[in-house]
Each structure stands twice: as structure tokens, then as C-alpha cells.
Chain A
Amino acid sequence: MHSTETLKRTPLYAAHLECGAKMVSFGGWEMPVQYSGILEEHAAVRERVGLFDISHMGEFLVAGPNAEAALNEILTNDLRKIAVGQAQYTLLCNEHGGIIDDLIVYRIEPSLFLLIVNAANIEQDFAWMNARAPRPVVLDNLSDKMAALALQGPSAAQVLPEAAEIAHFGVLRLAVLGKRCWVARTGYTGEDGFEIVCDPSDAPTLWAGLMERGKTFGIKPCGLGARDTLRLEMCYPLHGNDITEETTPLEAGLGKFVSFDKKLFVGRDALEAQKESGVARKLVAFKMTGKSPPPRPHYPILADGRVVGEVTSGTQSPSLSIGIGMGYVKTGEARVGVPIEIEVRGRRFAAVIEKKPILKRGP
């Protein structure tokens, strides 16, 4: 077993141990994978409310009169679409259109943006953006100076009534339990909820206070295990699995986050060419049609007995009690309703390509 000495710990490390967390290495951090159990934590977020430590995620600030224009030349989405107090999902691509990272940008002042990036990509993203920023801007990596919590679930707004007025994908500077935070109505679970960015020294107070407030709503501390099953039921891609530098937003079905209205952004030429020629493979969602081992990354996907792709993410869906996943499939087979098979340890199990998200909600 390798040493955990080199892993970073969030300011909530002690709180996790106190809650009975099982800790694992993730993106250079020692993080809770689960507390009471993935199935229980998953159900808490779908039915009530759960609290996650997401302090491992990276935070960058981009500021100055050129901030919007500079970011628009580096990111695929168009920041002109969002006003102060709004958030946008976007992608950081290389010249070939490969996805370096996916991130959320918050416009917190007209020319001040907060970017939240994946933990494992912090250094690479920052170096890339620094090198590509086309004009003078202030670009600051605040990842070690900020902590973040995610409060997710249908009861989240009752646990955090001071934030109940924030619109979906909105962001606001607020005092929570006496601590100044950025509170955004965003998340990675498919449920209503908030992401709260704070000073690391305030994180333990916020964690304890929100757990206390959430008691009457049946709140549970939730780890990376439930975070993964929740996001996969919604078909939110995970960078490193479903999207990488080897895949493009068009192949991943993320074309609506690429704004060809912008004359110039890194990867535009490659993506435009791919849009015209069409993609050779697509990221599809699938559901097993019967009892099977849970699908896992790299399992082959077959159609008519031939390998047509590979699983990128898979799990046993706690909500549906059946295996689900995503994977790249040759475009010819990448249609909803196409019967496929997933090969597990040499045996094939029937599945079907599903419309995203896999977990259908509402009336």
C-alpha cells in the first residue's frame, strides 16, 4: 500500500473521520468515498438532502477589463450569454478539440469570474490558461485558499433558506452561519441544491452547522461514491472517464456548450471540421436489461456480436437497482433503443441504449 503522506487533506478531514468516513485517494487528495454506505447516501440525496465536501475541486479567479474576452477565446461556451450572478457550464479544449477539462464559470462581477475545475486537472488547466490567455488579465489559482461544500437534495433549500431566492445556475455572495461565502445553485447530482465556496478556516463551522440544521430533514454526509452514482444516473460526464483530451465535445454530446457564434476560441477549427464531417463515435448512455454484474470502465460494448465501443463509466444504479453506464459507440449503432451487449469477464450481458438522462424524472 502506498503512503498517504503525500495526499492533500481538506479542512474537513477531521469532520469526515468523526462522521465515520472511509477515506480514499482521489485526484491527489485524501477524500471520503463513503460514510454510512453508498446506497444509503444516494437515497438521502434523491429523497431528502446530503452534504458533500468538494474542497478538492480547484478555484481560479479571472479578473480585469479583458477577462470576458480572454476567457471566451479559451473556453468553448460564450460568456456573453451570462450576466452577473449567473453560472455557465463550459469546456476547456486543446487545438484538436480534445477536452482538457470541463468546468463551471461564475460571473460574480461584470469583469470578475470564478472558475471551478476538476481536482486532478488544477495545475494543467492553470498552466494552459496562463499560456493561452490572449491579452492581459489577472489569473489567480486560489485552489488552496478556498474550500467548498455541496448541499444537494430536494430539501436543500429548506436547510439553506437564506439561499432559497437564488435561481437555478445563479450565484450570490451570502452570509451562511455568519460566514461570508459564494453560494451557487449548482451541483452534480441532478437534484436541487447549492455549492458553497468559502474560506478554508470557515469550512468546519459550515459543515457542522449545516449537518445540525439538516438533522430534521434526514441529512447525511455523502462521499465520492454516492457523488459518482448520482451523476451517472443523470449522465453528467466525469472528466478522465467519459471525456478526455482524446475525445471532443461533439463526440461526447456536449455540442450545446460549444458556441460557434464566437469567431475565435481554442479548438474551433478542429471542432468545426468535425461538425461538418460528422463524428465517428458518440458517447451513449445504456441500461442493462436484466441481472448482471455492474458495468465498469473499459468493458467492451458489442452490437450484433461485434465490438463497437467501450464503457467509460458504469455502476449499479441505486435508484433503478440495475446496471447502467456510458460509453463511446460507433455512430452507426449510437441510437436510442439499439440492443447492445456488455462483455464482463468473457461473458456477455444484454443492454439497451437509453436516452439521457438514464434516470427519468417528473410527470
Chain B
Amino acid sequence: MNIPKNLKYAKTHEWVRVEGDIAVVGITDHAQHELTDVVYVETPAIDARIEAGKECAVVESVKAASDIYAPVSGDVVAVNEELSSAPELLNQDPYDKGWMFKVKMSDPGELNELLSPDDYAHHVGA
């Protein structure tokens, strides 16, 4: 199970990479493994205001649709357009090419609520 050391994690299996006041968000290796073959990704709209802990995107495998929860609050400033034609990037490269969206954080203090790599590893029993 790949859990990069430079990221923060939500219990709901999203990762966050902090770049100044921007949070880059995706789903973890554990999540993509559990979801299996991803065939459709619905990212939030640009400029959408998202709220930590609330559903903000949907990832669909052949079997099921799964909600993705915002790990932090803020305004969506970018989404990964490539996912609409290549949703399998979430399986193949969840931490890099499979990033989902970028949020301009309204409360960077929320980052303290997220899990460290070690705590996330413990959370998923890795």
C-alpha cells in the first residue's frame, strides 16, 4: 500500500498536497484499490464552494458510485480535465496524474484535522 510521506489524509480516503494556500486533492491508493476499475469521475465545478466533510465529487467503478468528501473547505480553482477521458488514471497513478481538483483553502487550520501518513496507515490497517 503506497502512502506518500509528503501528504495529509482524510479518514474517508482522500489525500491533500499543500501548495501555499492551495490544497491539491485526490484519492488514496487504498481507496482506488477498494473501488476497483474506475470508469467515470465527476469532479466538482470550477468556482464551486466546497465544505470539509461534505460530498463534493463522485467516482464510479463498474459496480458502484462512491462519494468523495472534501478534506478541506474552500473554492475549487482547478479540476483534472484528463479524468473525463481517462478515469483509469485514478487506478494507475492516484497520487500524481490521478489528482482530482485544487481548492483555495478558506481555513488552512482544517489541515490540522487531517491524518499524518503514519496515522492513515494505521487507519487502513496497512
Contact = CB atoms under 8 A, between A and B. Distances in A.
A and B assemble together: yes
Interface of A: 22, 33-34, 37-39, 225, 229, 291-294, 296, 315-316, 318, 345
Closest 10 CB pairs of A and B: A316-B39, A38-B62, A293-B40, A39-B37, A37-B37, A293-B60, A316-B62, A225-B63, A294-B60, A38-B37
Contact of B36 (A38, A229, A291, A345): A38
B124 interface: no
Contact of A292 (B36, B37, B40): B40
Contacts of B65: 293-294, 296
Given A38-B36, A38-B37, A39-B37, A293 B42 contact: yes
Interface of B: 36-37, 39-40, 42, 58, 60-63, 65, 84-85
Most buried by B among A34, A229, A292: A34
A291 B42 CA distance: 11
Nearest to A40: B37
Contact of A38 (B58, B60, B63, B84): B63
A358 to B, nearest CB: 15
Nearest to B40: A293
Contacts of A34: 36
A316 B39 CA distance: 7
A80 B61 CA distance: 45
Contacts of A39: 37, 62
Nearest to A24: B63
A318 B65 CA distance: 16
A230 to B, nearest CB: 11
Contact of A293 (B36, B37, B58, B63): B58
A291 B39 CA distance: 10
B113 to A, nearest CB: 24
A22 B64 CA distance: 14
Contact of B40 (A37, A225, A316): A316
A296 B40 CA distance: 13
A231 to B, nearest CB: 13
B38 to A, nearest CB: 10
A37 B42 contact: no
A291 B84 contact: yes
Contacts of A315: 62
B84 to A, nearest CB: 7
A294 B40 contact: yes
Nearest to B64: A296
A315 B40 CA distance: 11
A355 B56 CA distance: 37
Contact of B39 (A33, A294, A296, A345): A294
B33 to A, nearest CB: 10
Contacts of B85: 291
A316 B88 CA distance: 13
A316 B36 CA distance: 13
13 contacts: A22-B36, A33-B63, A38-B37, A225-B63, A291-B85, A293-B40, A293-B60, A294-B60, A294-B62, A294-B65, A296-B65, A315-B62, A316-B62
Nearest to B91: A37
B26 to A, nearest CB: 19
Contact of A225 (B42, B62, B84): B62
B81 to A, nearest CB: 13
B39 to A, nearest CB: 4
